[in-house]
Each structure stands twice: as C-alpha cells, then as structure tokens.
Amino acid sequence: MHQPTQRRQDVIHAGRLIVISGRPGTGKTTLAKATAQELPACYLRVDAAETALVRAGVAVVTEGYAVIHELAVSNLQLGHTVVVDAVNPLPQARAGWFETAARARARLVMVEVELPDLREHRRRVEEREADIFGHVLPTWDQVVHGEWTPWDEERDGERLRVDSTNADVALAHLLQALRPE
C-alpha cells in the first residue's frame, strides 16, 4: 500500500550548512548576516544562544554550540539553507559541524573569515558595540590571547578563506563561491 508520508520524505532534500568562522572582530557576523539575507537562509548565531543561556543562569562552556547544532539540524531537515555565525576556535568545534551536516544529510561549506590588517582588526574590536542584549564583547587583549588554534585542513577539513577587509568584496567572493555547480 502507498504511504504518502514516506513518499514526501523521499523528495525532501536537506539544505546547505554554511558555517562562517573566525576570530572576534574579523567581520564574520557582518558577512554571515549579509549572506543569509542574500541567499536567503536561516541565520543562527552562537553568541545569541550563549548570551541567552547566561541570562538564564547557565554556566556556558559548549552549551551554546550544542543549541545551534540542534537548531541547524532542524532547519536543514526542512530543506532550508542555514548560515551559522560562530568563532569555532578549536578543532573540536569545527569537527562538530561535519557531524551536524551528516546528521541532516546536508552539504557543508566551511568558511574562515580573516582580517590581515592587525590595526584594522584592533580598531574593529575596540570600536564595536554589542548588538545582543547582555552580550559582553571581548577586549583586544582577549581576542589576541584567547583560545584559537590555526586552521589545518588535514585536521579540520577544507574551508573557504575570505578576507574581510572590504565587507562588500568579501560578500561578493563568498556568494560567488556558493553558486551552484
């Protein structure tokens, strides 16, 4: 006997998971938001999850990432493209996105946002203001000395590197790379 529910599930395809990573102040949030608007896509930000958890009295270590992973899977299974905005400072954090994409049967695109000009990076960190209620932004000293393991493609997988010196150029570069093959 024909089961309509199974047939519908057969034609549902998961979306793309686009994970935009980088140190604080490099422009990853600006790029992630613009990318989500242009595609369009669901936008998920680890900082928002972590800030909400802290406001709820939760001591946050990896809980914000766990929340975003589950929200990503839920949206990917609906066929949506998902743009994740997360620092992903350690190999373990980066590896989690491969697992999330596999669970949702989604194509994964990893992006590392870089800002080669240290003076510009410092200026951005020192001049920015929190856009999430209760979010405490890191200082320049915390950005420079905070946890960050440089990307190693053998260990962390391939990623697209995007120079965020010019936000419009960075967005155009990323959108070009995301075009269907």
Residues 6+ apart with CB under 8 A from 31: 20, 111, 113, 162, 164, 167, 170, 171, 174
Q: Residue 61: what pLDDT?
A: 92
Quote the pLDDT of residue 7.
Answer: 34
DSSP 90: S
Q: What is the pLDDT of residue 5?
A: 42
pLDDT value for 180: 78
pLDDT computed for residue 4 by the predictor: 41
* pLDDT per residue as tens, the chain (181 positions): 444 443 334 334 568 999 999 999 999 999 999 999 999 999 999 999 999 999 999 999 999 999 999 999 999 999 999 999 999 999 999 999 999 999 999 999 999 999 999 999 999 999 999 999 999 999 999 999 999 999 999 999 999 999 999 999 999 999 999 987 6
Cβ partners under 8 Å of residue 12, min gap 6: 77, 78, 79
Which CATH code fits 20-84+103-117+126-174? Answer: 3.40.50.300
Closest CA to 21 of 80, 74, 96: 96
What residues does each domain of the chain span? Answer: 20-84+103-117+126-174
In this prediction the pTM is 0.91
